[in-house]
Structure 1
């Protein structure tokens, strides 16, 4: 650790401009990333007398060996850069999503002539549409199975310009419209994909209107078999929509976010409301929250979640004002291209929804903690059994394995 005097002197020389500061330990690892409207004021505060800091900041301060900074043109730009660096380095003293892997998305290849529907873990600026993130791969694949039944789409990598003589099994079981054999035109296939995207956006009423119009047009053109197929599709979509929970006709495009904390862990619950329906929910576990204020946890989550989210709603409902609320709202507006409101409701149906999300976050965290404790108990039992079997004096704290190769028992390497 560098002397506080040296670090304090360096902090005093930082510019009074917006930016990001990066703290490293003696091994060169990034241990904390922060943003500031004034780099000098913010970083100098870390080197004030110890009685003005939380235990977490004191531990951080003891670990700092080096300090870097990046000046930005605005506080908004600093927020974006901070979020990028936290995801890249996963600093131990930052609030961060527990699962380091990227969450999966559904990708609809609208940039393709006959769009495919696939799963990815990274959003690219390639003209495709992305939906997610999903915290559960199982839930995402369940969604894909449902979409396949409601809006049959191709999953093959066939060249659509070279028509096949025979269709695959998916065509015969009505899970693909068969563009590879010319059973549907490019325009007809695109209509299916457009309906699929609207359904994923939660615009069920718009999907049904489109399907009914197509059914009426088919019947008028005496295409009775196609009209009957569209009728069956309409009924299937209606059954799915009926199972969705009606929340409010006035809440058309909202995310409701609440979180619970217990013994150093935090669980965030997100409800997705579209056209008055609760179309889905996801939970996220955060690390590094034990000594943080609720407003700091909420602000960090909003930054990390919406930096990856495929859709930004018109309004985000939260339990309290997050850190850097105005900057976050400006950033969300920039990402969405239209106004975004971050609101703390005090009464009415929005408050009731927030309470419901809070209860779900509390219940989810309790369930997760029970799982973690059970896993920890099994690990302790297994290590104790290993100690007994190997005749060790103490329970092993670390186990190393070495792989070697040899040629018929000789020339071992590894």
Structure 2
């Protein structure tokens, strides 16, 4: 039975066992890479629909062509599936999903309110750690400008020290002496006064300047009445700064309401722009825009719904009203999820006239302009990479320019869980659907040369056997040793004329087979940068796969050691929580919610992981 026949039989068997519960399904290609994530009210009917010979879009037909396997996660409700789908799309960035461009993690402003003297700073990681987060922001410059204003007005600390209210230091830093910091490190400002300022910062970041101004005015009068003129002067200066800031913010409505105005504009290609205007307390305080990819053949309703789903699962704040320029799919699910996060109902509207319609039109104009900018940038990048490809062919003396490059790397730690990666770049850009991952099968111990031989032989022997097109160029991560090992296999396969090079990390030298002297290029040249991108992407892909296998091995090993936890319970735990780290964080009552886990077993799991986790 061929691999393809086996895959079809396997899928057919899985389809018969699909449950009728809601959940999320994950479509995978032959390498195990997740290429599509979807949600379903009924997993059985939704997943089966992909394999019926009915009227499907071109995109769906292409997806089904690549499906080699699928997995699914059952949930209790459709809303839970909706949340999980957004998180999995963000994590895996599947090729066939609508997705935020480049897998960016957008920055937030973090306020560490859970310490004696909180800090306010930029971060791209949001945790459930007691801090407050504001964002996300598409424009990093806007964050830095906001932080500068906060520092000027409130004179908060910028150091990363862990300060305790009852443990003042002897000397302050320079910022205190130049009146840029209130000096909490030496006790020059008390914990309560400092937290008052932090509360004002949070109002400021929420866009509630009117509320904040009232508070600051009251504090100024109180300080003056207490004859604390230095403190009163600080509040006076803050009020003046707020006045200037308010003048620069456009009043959008006379209602003290928070709104997100979202306009979606699609290009003729496979991209779209979601433009957001952020209205807080009736004032326009900023804008963000997001480029979406994979939107070809998708309706505006589907594209908008997918964007809002991904955006609000990572957003730190939810508005009172959501104004959209196109109706969306799954509106009830979105409304339920937003209400759950905010704690009260969120209004979703499609204005057709009046001031709200004018705001949407302004957002649309900005979206159109941002799409034009993206198109110009993409064309410039395409021209730049195309030029680099042609120049590379010239430097290497190739007959044909290397439009199709395959890059290899090996990853292991002391010989365990050895893996290899192969990445593909076409016309200077990653072609992720063509990436491949390999478990090393014939090599024991940390032998990168032999591992490289194995993976190169497996890759190109298969291409020759299936009579498929060979790449224009092979790039090996490493110097002469790794290159010689790979070239030896090409000779055995009779394709020694296939261009192959090695790129050594230390000096970024390019090696060719049979030539002792390397080729060196200036570091700023697009040609070398192209090779570095291929090499670095192969390294990233190999390391991520190695970590995944190692984590899986350690997870299974640790769970198998717990008395009373066999394969069935281990799989149930992993399916319920997703990872060993989440299982370890779970409380006993949460462990008891897993099928097959009694109260007694939950206690054993809880105690064992806390007593033994440090060893891992």
Aligned equivalents of 1:283, 1:294: Cα separation in 2: 16
User: Residue in 2 aligned with 1:113?
Assistant: 116
1:322 aligns with 2:335: no
User: Residue in 2 aligned with 1:39?
Assistant: 43
User: Residue in 2 aligned with 1:382?
Assistant: 388
Offset of residue 336 of structure 1: 1.0
**SS at structure 2 position matched to 1:127:** coil
Aligned equivalents of 1:367, 1:328: Cα separation in 2: 30
User: Residue in 1 aligned with 2:222?
Assistant: 217
Aligned equivalents of 2:351, 2:42: Cα separation in 1: 31
The TM-score, its normalising length taken from structure 1, stands at 0.93
1:74 aligns with 2:77: yes
1:103 aligns with 2:106: yes
Aligned equivalents of 1:207, 1:192: Cα separation in 2: 10
User: Residue in 2 aligned with 1:410?
Assistant: none
Aligned equivalents of 1:42, 1:167: Cα separation in 2: 63
Aligned equivalents of 2:120, 2:318: Cα separation in 1: 21
Which of 283, 288, 291 is residue 297 of structure 2 equivalent to?
A: 291
Aligned equivalents of 1:290, 1:187: Cα separation in 2: 55
Select the structure of larger CA radius of gyration.
2
Q: Is the CA contact (8 Å cut-off) linking 2:264 and 2:300 kept in structure 1?
A: no
Offset of residue 136 of structure 1: 2.9
Aligned equivalents of 2:289, 2:253: Cα separation in 1: 22
Number of residue-to-residue matches in the alignment: 407
Q: Is the CA contact (8 Å cut-off) linking 1:135 and 1:282 kept in structure 2?
A: yes
**SS at structure 2 position matched to 1:249:** coil
Offset of residue 353 of structure 1: 0.8
Which of 188, 194, 210 is residue 189 of structure 1 equivalent to?
A: 194
Q: Is the CA contact (8 Å cut-off) linking 2:271 and 2:291 kept in structure 1?
A: yes
Q: Is the CA contact (8 Å cut-off) linking 2:117 and 2:163 kept in structure 1?
A: no
Offset of residue 224 of structure 1: 2.5
Which of 218, 223, 233 is residue 228 of structure 1 equivalent to?
A: 233
Mapping 1:228-377, distance limit 5 Å: 228-250=233-255, 252-262=257-267, 263-377=269-383
Offset of residue 5 of structure 1: 7.7
**SS at structure 2 position matched to 1:376:** helix
Aligned equivalents of 1:274, 1:324: Cα separation in 2: 26
User: Residue in 1 aligned with 2:210?
Assistant: 205
Q: Is the CA contact (8 Å cut-off) linking 1:267 and 1:365 kept in structure 2?
A: yes
Aligned equivalents of 2:356, 2:16: Cα separation in 1: 46
**SS at structure 2 position matched to 1:166:** coil
Offset of residue 165 of structure 1: 3.0
Q: Is the CA contact (8 Å cut-off) linking 1:259 and 1:358 kept in structure 2?
A: yes
Distance 1:158 1:126, change over 3 A: closer
Query: Which segment drifts farther, 372-381 or 200-209?
Result: 372-381
Offset of residue 194 of structure 1: 0.8
1:49 aligns with 2:49: no
The TM-score, its normalising length taken from structure 2, stands at 0.63
Aligned equivalents of 2:385, 2:479: Cα separation in 1: 28
**SS at structure 2 position matched to 1:163:** coil
Q: Is the CA contact (8 Å cut-off) linking 2:264 and 2:326 kept in structure 1?
A: no
Distance 1:251 1:63, change over 3 A: farther
Aligned equivalents of 1:390, 1:44: Cα separation in 2: 50
What is the aligned-residue RMSD (CA, Å)?
Answer: 2.0
Q: Which has the bigger relative contact order, CA under 8 A and spacing at least 6?
A: 1
Instruction: Flag structure 1 segments of 5+ consecutive residues without an equivalent.
Output: 407-412
Query: Which segment drifts farther, 135-144 or 352-361?
Result: 135-144
Instruction: Flag structure 2 segments of 5+ consecutive residues without an equivalent.
Output: 406-473, 482-503, 506-616
